[in-house]
Structure 1
Amino acid sequence: MNKIQKIIIFRPFFVGFCTFVISCLISVAPVYILHVLHVKSYFQDFRMHIGDLSATLATLVDANLHKQLTKPEDINTQTYKQAITPLVKFHNANPKIFYVYTMREEGEKIYYILDTMSDERLNLGRPRLESTQIMEEVITEDLEDKEWIEVQKQGKTYINERFETDNYGTFLSAHSPFYDEQGKLEGFVGVDYDTATFQEGVQKYKEAFFISLFWCLGFSVVLSIITTLFALGLRKKYLEVEKLSKYDFLTGLYNRNTFQILLEKTIKTLQRTNEHLFFIIIDIDDFKEINDTYGHQIGDQAIVKIAQILQKQIRNSDVLARFGGDEFLIYLHDKDENAAQYLLHRLEEKLVNEIIVINKEISLKLSLSIGYTKCHENCSYESLLNRADEALYISKATGKGIATFKA
């Protein structure tokens, strides 16, 4: 039996746990990977949508009017309204937009020129529905990271990779360049888009993921239970087969093969322990008459009763086995060379007055013939059995209930 077979048979619950873990890895990992890929794909689609809005908005900006709004002193109401009205209409047509604004680079600074969200409207938390008054001052901002500016100078739309949050909410930004009639870069238009719809979509993906996860875990649990039950079944069958191979089916004692294996192991330790080893063979007298008179079923019950008596008289260190038929084997090891005689004396005292009750109608008075020997140098199971069997033959020939020793 290899290690894997031993684990399956002797550790069924561990096998079930391993099945659960492996099943989870196999089933949950792909589901999780697909979920992550779906969310990433959805995020990219969301970014592309905002980028498209920004690019579309860039086509609506009048670059010539925008140039006239660079200096506050040059701004008049009519010019401002003409410039911002397309932005306001675009904003109103897309209510998920937080801000629409334009910017212009001058030197090392970025100037915010137009926007569709006033401070008052910002506090109210809703988009502007009409244009603002003339901006009284230009808002400037120093920039440390100009990557988004450089991308737009190349004629591309820059879409932010991360969300931003202010006191109005969480949004994602996109910026696109716009040009004057000569094709010269005039400025940039920006769109800050509400991420609530994206979060709602992600939540739906999460719900689908958790439902899939629930089914995967359920499948893994069921599979682990089935595997555990299968391993328990194998263990039960193995133990049954092992019991049949090691024990006598009638008495529950060791069988002769197991007895021989244990004896040979004990013989190997004798030199180290300096103990005496005795080998005993026991035969029930006139057992054939019991079978002939009462039948084999009563005979089997008598064998079981004798086995129980022998089991009670031996020590925990002694080994008892059924040799076959009505014969039993015992070996014992002890530093006391009279240990075997003490055991035989206990058996004699037990059986002298013992009436073996089979049932209400049948009670038997039985005696045992015994042959025993002692292990000498280089002894073996075969040599001990032969000498003890010769001693038993002498006991049988001499009379009933006699124990004979053969050196």
Structure 2
Amino acid sequence: MSTKYRIVSSIIFLLLLLSIGLSVLNYYIILQSTKKQLEYSDIPLSTTNIYNEIQKNLIEPNLVSSVMAQDTFLKEWLIHEEHDVESITEYLKSIRKKYGLLTVFLASDKTNKYYTSKGLVEEMSRKRERNLWYYKFKDNNLENEINIDYNKYADNNLIMFINHKIFNANQKMIGAVGVGIKVFYINEMLKQARKTYKLNVYFINEKGRVVLKEEAFNSFHSTRHNSELNDALINPTGGTLKHKYNSQEYITHSKYIPELDLYLIVEAKVSDFTSDVISTFYINLIISLLITTLILLVVLRMVSRNNEKLEHLAQHDTLTSLMNRRSFNDALEQLILRNQRKEQKNSIIFLDIDDFKRVNDTKGHQIGDKVLVRVSKILKETLRQTDLVARWGGEEFIVLCIDSEISDAELIAENIRVKIQNDKELQELLTHELTASFGVTKIAKGESSLELIKRVDKALYKAKEEGKNRIVLSV
């Protein structure tokens, strides 16, 4: 592999390595930053926001139910005035209207009667399945509970009931009061949390059982019971746990809600939050590769142009832009090799500017250089495109006349000699005519380049001896 291609390959490799390396490093840094922000900032903040929404939608009804259970009016009514159905109906109706609740109820333990904002609804019985909730609630040790059930007195909708026991002064249960909220609204709230925050939200009790979740959502916790989750999340101060399920990474955060005696669980699938990072990585990588490609094209162009310049400098004379001695010799050697296989009609013209040293001495090297440039231009204008011309050295020039007999070369040399002597531009530079001496010879079969140059050089030397400004043939 040439030096040029080694350099280009190295540049390509380094640029690609730099481009891809920086993109991967940037992706890794952003990914880790996103995960940390998700764990320590986004999820806790979102949990607080969701808690505030829950407080608005769930905690307020729970507080209403709790306050009703402590209301002295209700206690007095249950103990002494249960016959006054109208007053309790108005009371329940006002509570329902004030807080925009689906239903408000009161159950009397003494009479087993069930009241709503519509008045006396029924007399409850342990034998009636729809009334069993009350007796189960009465028999347990809890002062309040949340349960979800269908209610025939609320259009048979699935309702979440928040129930509180009512106690007299002796802490004996005298009834139960509660409010009902449509599960539809709760489901919408949880769905909105998922859509807005990309978070799955559900509620678990102290035993780790999911008691409330979005209808269409199967939580990790509910689909696969995990004691590690329970230990980390069921904590009054809340907790955070990173875990995997089905090859997906999750971050789960919990917050205890004492008003409901439930744990709010906020579950984030990490890929939902890093998908943009991955997309950004690929976009950045593509942009980076495009920029790298553009840079490579520019570098390749520069290397190619510089290489062309170097090759030109290596093969051409810097002053006249003609071939230099080395490149001419290479071309001559190739021609001689071909001539050995099959003799061809090729000739050499060797010329030297007469008295050029005097030009430099009297006019200066700057004028001397201009003379050389002008002579080289005359040579290029006079010669055929197939001919080769080079600056041999100093004020010497050599011409390879392709497919030319020595007589043809002599005519070419004479044409050059006349043009140099009569050139107006040279005369203006020097204020006198410039002349040149020529040696001309034919390339003989089996002759080396050294022998050829030696013969034509002798012919040139003879032209100088005979008075200059003339052509001498070496046959």
TM-score greater than 0.5 by the shorter chain = yes
Partner residue, 2:316:
247
**Distance in 2 between the 1:338 and 1:219 partners?**
63
1:264 to 327, 330, 333: 333
Provide, for residues 212-245 of structure 1, a one-character-per-residue CA deviation record: whole Å limited to 9, x for no partner: x9799789969x96x9988888777766655544
1:400 aligns with 2:464: no
**Distance in 2 between the 1:337 and 1:86 partners?**
122
Helix, strand or coil: the match of 1:378? coil
Whether the aligned pair in 2 keeps the contact of 1:373 and 1:388 (CA below 8 Å) is yes
1:121 aligns with 2:116: no
Partner residue, 1:363:
431
**Distance in 2 between the 1:352 and 1:126 partners?**
103
1:75 aligns with 2:132: yes
Partner residue, 1:378:
446
**Distance in 1 between the 2:351 and 2:422 partners?**
19
Closer, same or farther: CA 126–350 of 1 in aligned 2, 3 Å: closer
Closer, same or farther: CA 173–77 of 1 in aligned 2, 3 Å: farther
Q: CA deviation at 1:394?
A: 1.8
**Distance in 2 between the 1:287 and 1:4 partners?**
41
**Distance in 2 between the 1:117 and 1:148 partners?**
25
Closer, same or farther: CA 85–160 of 1 in aligned 2, 3 Å: farther
Closer, same or farther: CA 339–249 of 1 in aligned 2, 3 Å: same
1:341 aligns with 2:413: no
Closer, same or farther: CA 304–258 of 1 in aligned 2, 3 Å: same
**Distance in 1 between the 2:302 and 2:185 partners?**
73
1:294 aligns with 2:289: no
Q: CA deviation at 1:389?
A: 0.7
Helix, strand or coil: the match of 1:276? coil
Q: CA deviation at 1:43?
A: 8.1
Partner residue, 1:31:
26
Q: CA deviation at 1:305?
A: 1.8
Closer, same or farther: CA 221–84 of 1 in aligned 2, 3 Å: farther
Whether the aligned pair in 2 keeps the contact of 1:32 and 1:209 (CA below 8 Å) is no
1:21 to 10, 16, 36: 16
Provide, for residues 21-60 of structure 1, a one-character-per-residue CA deviation record: whole Å limited to 9, x for no partner: 32121111133245556667888997xxx9xxxxxxxxxx
Helix, strand or coil: the match of 1:125? helix
Partner residue, 1:106:
none
Closer, same or farther: CA 126–85 of 1 in aligned 2, 3 Å: farther
Closer, same or farther: CA 148–230 of 1 in aligned 2, 3 Å: closer
**Distance in 2 between the 1:155 and 1:199 partners?**
21
Partner residue, 1:202:
273
Partner residue, 1:136:
none
Closer, same or farther: CA 230–399 of 1 in aligned 2, 3 Å: same
Whether the aligned pair in 2 keeps the contact of 1:351 and 1:367 (CA below 8 Å) is yes
Closer, same or farther: CA 282–191 of 1 in aligned 2, 3 Å: same
Q: CA deviation at 1:406?
A: 1.2
Partner residue, 1:326:
395
Aligned partner of 1:202: which letter?
F
**Distance in 1 between the 2:414 and 2:28 partners?**
78
**Distance in 2 between the 1:385 and 1:320 partners?**
14
2:386 to 309, 314, 317: 317
Closer, same or farther: CA 126–382 of 1 in aligned 2, 3 Å: closer
Whether the aligned pair in 1 keeps the contact of 2:340 and 2:445 (CA below 8 Å) is no
1:308 to 377, 381, 389: 377
Partner residue, 1:54:
none
Whether the aligned pair in 2 keeps the contact of 1:322 and 1:329 (CA below 8 Å) is yes
Stretches of structure 2 that go unaligned for 5 or more consecutive residues are: 48-125, 148-158, 161-179, 192-217, 231-242, 254-261
Closer, same or farther: CA 214–269 of 1 in aligned 2, 3 Å: same
Provide, for residues 315-348 of structure 1, a one-character-per-residue CA deviation record: whole Å limited to 9, x for no partner: 2221111122221111122166654234224324
Aligned partner of 1:368: which letter?
A
Whether the aligned pair in 2 keeps the contact of 1:15 and 1:231 (CA below 8 Å) is no
Closer, same or farther: CA 121–299 of 1 in aligned 2, 3 Å: closer
Helix, strand or coil: the match of 2:339? helix
Stretches of structure 1 that go unaligned for 5 or more consecutive residues are: 51-68, 89-98, 101-115, 128-144, 163-170, 175-189
Partner residue, 2:423:
354
Aligned partner of 2:16: which letter?
V
Task: Flag the structure with larger Rg.
Answer: 2
Closer, same or farther: CA 117–274 of 1 in aligned 2, 3 Å: farther
Closer, same or farther: CA 148–328 of 1 in aligned 2, 3 Å: same
Helix, strand or coil: the match of 1:334? coil
Partner residue, 2:201:
none
Partner residue, 2:202:
none
**Distance in 1 between the 2:412 and 2:143 partners?**
115
Aligned partner of 1:29: which letter?
V
Q: CA deviation at 1:356?
A: 3.9
**Distance in 1 between the 2:384 and 2:377 partners?**
13
Helix, strand or coil: the match of 2:453? helix
Aligned partner of 1:399: which letter?
G
Q: CA deviation at 1:282?
A: 0.1
**Percent identity (aligned):** 21
1:283 aligns with 2:352: yes
**Distance in 2 between the 1:353 and 1:219 partners?**
62
Whether the aligned pair in 2 keeps the contact of 1:391 and 1:405 (CA below 8 Å) is yes
Helix, strand or coil: the match of 1:321? strand
Closer, same or farther: CA 35–293 of 1 in aligned 2, 3 Å: closer
Whether the aligned pair in 2 keeps the contact of 1:35 and 1:209 (CA below 8 Å) is no
Aligned partner of 1:21: which letter?
L
Q: CA deviation at 1:208?
A: 12
**Distance in 1 between the 2:324 and 2:25 partners?**
55
Q: CA deviation at 1:284?
A: 1.5
The alignment yields a C-alpha RMSD, in angstroms, of 5.5
**Distance in 2 between the 1:150 and 1:236 partners?**
67
Q: CA deviation at 1:386?
A: 0.0
Output the TM-score relative to the length of structure 1: 0.56
Helix, strand or coil: the match of 1:405? strand
